[in-house]
Amino acid sequence: MHHLLEEVVSLTMTLQNRAFLAREWTVLPGLRRSARSTHPSLIGETEAILELRTLGEERILLAGSDVRLPLRRAVELLAYFLEHKTARFERVRVDLFPDEKHRTAKSYFHQFRHQLKEHVEGLEIEYDTESRMYRLKSEIDILWDVADLRAGRRSEVPGPFLPTCTSDWALTLDHALERFRTAH
């Protein structure tokens, strides 16, 4: 096993991706404990892994504990930026708050940005003044169940995407994920 871990260390250096095994560590805790003592560079410096659960449930977990953001649509907003990478505020407003006044939507969005930054160190929605775009900036590993489903790393058939959400973008994504659900 020592030889195989050495090969993985070499691979992570070649790929310049220290978090190469971040998803796998969550399902291989015994191997993680062993690698921590023999090959700590594989584990990384931080234990902080954020899990965004959006299939059949709506939860944000940090290092296995619930993150309670005091906003009802926090999970949806975080999922939106994981899916879209960048977006102008007007696109966010149209996709997530089509029935809200501009001012109300903007206030909610900025409350979300503030609460996210306050509750999850190393994670924020930053604004680029030049492009006038918002993007998710993360210094921690993020595991998203949708990414796992798309990559074929889910053993059970998952529930609907954001089950309490009725926005068009979420319903469209849920429909697009159906082909991955039926592949199980």
Q: Buried (b) or exposed (e) across 121-149, using 16+ Cβ within 10 A?
A: eebbbeeeeeeeebbbeeebbbbbbbebb
Q: Is 59 part of a structural domain of the chain?
A: no
Q: Which two tokens stand for residue 148?
A: 């796992």
Euclidean distance between the first and the last CA atom of the chain, given in angstroms as a whole number: 31
Contact call for residues 42 and 5 (beta carbons, < 8 A): yes
Q: Is 10 part of a structural domain of the chain?
A: yes
Write down the pTM of the prediction.
0.75
In which domain, by residue range, is 31 found? 2-43
Task: Give the Cα separation of 142 and 121 in Å (integer).
Answer: 13
Is the same domain home to 94 and 165?
A: yes
Is the same domain home to 119 and 159?
A: yes
Is the same domain home to 83 and 6?
A: no
Q: What is the CATH number of the domain that holds 176?
A: 1.10.10
Confidence label for 75 from pLDDT (cuts 50, 70 and 90): very high
Average pLDDT over the chain, rounded to an integer: 87
Is the same domain home to 29 and 85?
A: no
Q: Which two tokens stand for residue 52?
A: 């965004």
Is the same domain home to 96 and 169?
A: yes
Q: pLDDT tens-digit profile of 76-122?
A: 999 999 999 999 999 999 999 999 999 999 999 999 999 999 999 88
Is the same domain home to 93 and 154?
A: yes
Percent of the chain exceeding pLDDT 70 equals 86
| Domain count across the chain | 2
Q: Is 55 part of a structural domain of the chain?
A: no
Q: Is 53 part of a structural domain of the chain?
A: no
Q: Is 122 part of a structural domain of the chain?
A: yes
Is the same domain home to 147 and 78?
A: yes
Q: Is 175 part of a structural domain of the chain?
A: yes
Is the same domain home to 9 and 85?
A: no
Is the same domain home to 78 and 128?
A: yes
